[in-house]
Structure 1
C-alpha cells in the first residue's frame, strides 16, 4: 500500500474558514465590527473608541442602524439613544452592539437574530414583554439588564 504525502498546495486547496485559522488570514471588514464587542473583560480604556478605522460611520450610527433593523420606531430609537444625552451615549451604543453580537452568537438565522428583539418573552424578567419594549423605556439600567439577559441566554 503506497501513501501519497500531502503537499502544502493540497492542504491549502481544501482550506476554509471553518477548518483553518482564518483569523490569521482575514482582512477586517465593516461586517466584523461587531466582533469587537465582547464583555469578557473590562479594560482600562475604551478600546471601541479606537476602532473608527474599521468603518466609515461611528458607533452611534451603527447602533441606530441596528435598532432600525430590529424594527424600532424613530421614537423608540430616540428613547434608547437620546439625542441630547452625550454622557452615556457610548455605553448605550456599546450595549446595542453587544446585544447584536450575542444574538449573532445564539442564532444562526439572521431573521431570528433581528426578530428576537420583537418577540414576546414569558421569562420571569421579560414578563410577556419584548426586549425592544423594555429597552424603549429609555432606562440605561433596563438596557444593561436586557444585554445581560441576552448574553446569558440558555442560563435562564
Structure 2
C-alpha cells in the first residue's frame, strides 16, 4: 500500500468526544489495576460528582490539558506494560505489585500515583516506559 492511499483523520483533542473516549479508557485501565473511586478521581484530577456524571455518559464534558495529560500517562503506562508482558496477570497486576527497583523502594507503583500528584504520575510513567527499551522499572 502506498502512502497516497493512507487517509489521515484529524482528531480534535479538545472535543467532548475525545474527552469521553479518553476518560472511559483511562477509567477502565485504572479499574483493572484495582483502583477504587477515590484513587481514580485523584489520579485523573476529577471531583467525585463529575466522575459519576462523566461515567454515566449523561453529561458532555471537555477535559483540560492537565487531565488529558494524566489520561495520556495512564494509556502509555498500559501500552508499555502490554508491550513488555504477554500475560494479563502482569499487564494488569504490575501496578499493584511491590517493586524493589530504584525509585519504588518496596512500594507499589499504584500506591505512588493514587494520591494524584502529577510529578509522581510522570515519574512512574517514565520508570514503566523504561521496560520497553530493556531498562528496569
TM over 0.5: yes
Relative to structure 1, the CA distance from residue 89 to residue 119 in structure 2 (aligned partners, 3 Å threshold; closer, same or farther) is same
Q: CA deviation at 1:76?
A: 0.7
Q: CA deviation at 1:137?
A: 2.1
Name the counterpart of 1:79: 42
Alignment of 1:131-146 (within 5 A): 131-146=109-124
Q: CA deviation at 1:60?
A: 1.1
Answer with 1 or 2: which has the greater Rg: 1
SS of 2:95's equivalent in the other structure is: helix
Name the counterpart of 2:68: 90
Name the counterpart of 1:66: 29
Of 82, 88, 106 in structure 1, the residue corresponding to residue 84 of structure 2 is: 106
Equivalents in 2 of 1:130, 1:141: separation in Å?
16
Relative to structure 1, the CA distance from residue 122 to residue 83 in structure 2 (aligned partners, 3 Å threshold; closer, same or farther) is same
- In the TM superposition, structure 1's runs of 4+ consecutive aligned residues that sit over 6 Å from their partners are none
Higher relative contact order (CA 8 A, sep 6+): 2
What TM-score, normalized by structure 2, do the two folds share?
A: 0.71
Of 69, 91, 95 in structure 2, the residue corresponding to residue 117 of structure 1 is: 95
Q: CA deviation at 1:87?
A: 4.3
What TM-score, normalized by structure 1, do the two folds share?
A: 0.62
Equivalents in 1 of 2:75, 2:103: separation in Å?
21
SS of 1:88's equivalent in the other structure is: helix
Relative to structure 1, the CA distance from residue 118 to residue 91 in structure 2 (aligned partners, 3 Å threshold; closer, same or farther) is same
Unaligned runs of 5+ in 1: 1-20, 22-45
Count of matched residue pairs = 110
